[in-house]
Amino acid sequence: MSLIENIIRPDVRALAAYHVQDAAGVLKLDAMENPYTLPAELRTELGQRLADVALNRYPVPSYAKLKAQICATQGVPAGYDVVLGNGSDELIAIMSIACAKPGAKVLAPVPGFVMYAMSAQLAGLEFIGVDLLPDFTLDTAAMLETIRRERPAITYLAYPNNPTGGLFDEAAMVEILHAVGDTGVVVVDEAYQPFALTSFMPRLAEFPNLIVMRTVSKLGLAGIRLGYMSGSAALLREFDKVRPPYNINVLTQAAAEFVLGHSDVLNAQAADLRAQRSALAAALAALPGVEVFPSAANFLLIRVQGDGVSANDVFARLLDRKVLVKNVGKMHALLQNCLRITVSTAQENAVFLDAFTASLAS
């Protein structure tokens, strides 16, 4: 046996490395990034703030000021706190580790966010995916039946869902929260909340088993890696024990405190992207052989079903034209011939539309 076989878990050896497409010189519409940066004056001011940060000191691990600012600006109900993560990816990992009792299970609708299954597997929990219906709405009956049979410790509902973009039915989500009861937590993942304008955050007090998770990534700060989640004090206390004490670095902390003090800038960018989403969806829906699914996020899921042209063809032709979108067709059987396109500025969307229209033909 080799060193690797001697020490590395077989399921880890079997994993494919997370593949990120090289995006040098292409129009990057694959990762739901906000195309806007901060205005020049704010960038200058931010630079000064960051220059003043004591890089020689460990962060103060309570992060009291940043947490209070998030609670005050992001609609966290009075009396509720947050736990911070190095991106929501880390929050997902923290919950997996905290809930990894022998035999514990994680449930999510599929196709969904890949980190739920990945994190469950790495922490030793069984992942159970329940297929969405072909129109990408929740199969509520199948979800409830699986919850009653499997008793998952964690159920994830991305609201809106990635990669499909739609909002699940709120009444169905409430049924799921009740069905789970005190045998598990239900994590409502609101990564795209700035584009959805609806939230379970105001409903925290109704459900002791509800965790609402958010991130600043899609809002325009993907590079700083900051996520947060709120829920009952009892749950947060346990999850916080698993959090590495210095998980938010001092530069992220300072940048977040500064930018959250200018939430109006990010909110205006999100409003613009919501308007661009409507325009892009209408333009795509007008093309023959293109189906556009409803989206409450900063991306659109489309299906290409023209004569003799597949999404694989269109994806490759777009890349030849220096436009990168996400080819999701292989993620799940329901996503056949589907592409996921990040909504960008009016100008970049126009470049995309031209390239896309040409790519449908040849």
Ligand X SMILES: *Cc1c(COP(=O)(O)O)cnc(C)c1O
Pair of tokens at residue 302: 């489309």
Q: 32 or 318: whose CB is closer to ligand X?
A: 32
Cite the DSSP H helix spans in the chain. Answer: 3-7, 10-13, 40-51, 64-73, 88-98, 114-123, 140-150, 170-180, 193-196, 233-242, 250-260, 263-285, 311-320, 346-361
Stretch that binds ligand X, among 210-218, 279-287, 317-325, 330-338 (CB under 6 A): 210-218
CB 157 → ligand X: shortest distance, Å? 10
Long-range contacts of 124-131 (CB under 8 A, 24+ apart): 124/100, 125/96, 125/99, 125/100, 125/153, 125/154, 128/152, 131/332, 131/334
Q: What are the C-alpha distances in Å from 340 to residues 33, 240, 300?
A: 13, 34, 6
Distance, CA of 266 to CA of 220 (rounded, Å): 7
Cα angle value 33/221/189 (rounded, 5°):
75
CB 285 → ligand X: shortest distance, Å? 23
Q: 87 or 109: whose CB is closer to ligand X?
A: 87
CB 147 within 8 A of CB 315: no
Q: 94 or 158: whose CB is closer to ligand X?
A: 158
Stretch that binds ligand X, among 118-126, 214-222, 254-262, 333-341 (CB under 6 A): 214-222
Q: 217 or 247: whose CB is closer to ligand X?
A: 217
Kind plus residue range of the DSSP H or E element containing 84? strand 82-85
Residue given tokens 């990894």 in the structure block: 100
Distance, CA of 158 to CA of 3 (rounded, Å): 39
> Looking at 30, 81, 189, 348, which residue binds ligand X (CB under 6 A)?
189
For the CA atoms of 135, 137, 226, 22, the dihedral, rounded to the nearest 10 degrees, stands at -20
Q: 113 or 207: whose CB is closer to ligand X?
A: 113
> Looking at 109, 220, 227, 231, which residue binds ligand X (CB under 6 A)?
227
> Looking at 217, 247, 269, 295, which residue binds ligand X (CB under 6 A)?
217
CB-based closest residue to ligand X: 87
Q: 116 or 352: whose CB is closer to ligand X?
A: 116
Pair of tokens at residue 337: 């011939």
CB 318 → ligand X: shortest distance, Å? 21
Distance, CA of 151 to CA of 106 (rounded, Å): 9
Distance, CA of 196 to CA of 124 (rounded, Å): 33
158 binds ligand X (CB under 6 A): yes
Instruction: Report the site for ligand X in 248-277 (rule: CB under 6 A).
Output: none
CB 307 → ligand X: shortest distance, Å? 33
Instruction: Report the site for ligand X in 77-136 (rule: CB under 6 A).
Output: 87-89, 113
Q: 158 or 355: whose CB is closer to ligand X?
A: 158
211 binds ligand X (CB under 6 A): no
CB crowding 312-325: b at 16 or more within 10 Å, else e: ebbbebbbebebbb
* Site size for ligand X (CB under 6 A): 14
Instruction: Report the site for ligand X in 4-33 (rule: CB under 6 A).
Output: 32
Q: 105 or 218: whose CB is closer to ligand X?
A: 218
Instruction: Report the site for ligand X in 302-341 (rule: CB under 6 A).
Output: none
CB 156 → ligand X: shortest distance, Å? 8
155 binds ligand X (CB under 6 A): no
CB 294 within 8 A of CB 68: no
CB 95 → ligand X: shortest distance, Å? 13
Binding site for ligand X (CB under 6 A): 32, 87-89, 113, 158, 162, 189, 191, 215, 217-218, 222, 227
